[in-house]
Amino acid sequence: MTTDVKTQALLGAIERRLADISAHQHALAVEKARLLEQLTPLRLGVLAPNTAVVQLKSKGITLRGLTAAGSATRRPRPPILKAVASMRLAR
Domain tally for the chain?
1
Query: Please, is 47 exposed, middle or buried when counting C-beta atoms within 10 Å of its C-beta (0-12, 13-18, 19+)?
Result: middle
52 closest CA partner among 68, 65, 36, 64: 68
Which residues does the chain have with pLDDT short of 70?
41-44, 46, 65-91
Q: Residue 74: inside a domain, yes or no?
A: no
Question: Which residues lie below 8 Å from residue 65, measured CB to CB, with a gap of 6+?
Answer: none
Please give the model's pTM, rounded to 2 decimal places.
0.44
70 assigned to some structural domain: no
**Residue 80 is assigned to a structural domain of this protein:** no
In a domain, 54, yes or no: yes
**Is residue 46 in some structural domain?**
yes
Q: pLDDT digits over 7-19, tens only?
A: 999 999 999 999 9
DSSP classification of residue 10: H
**Which domain, by its residues, includes 9?**
3-58
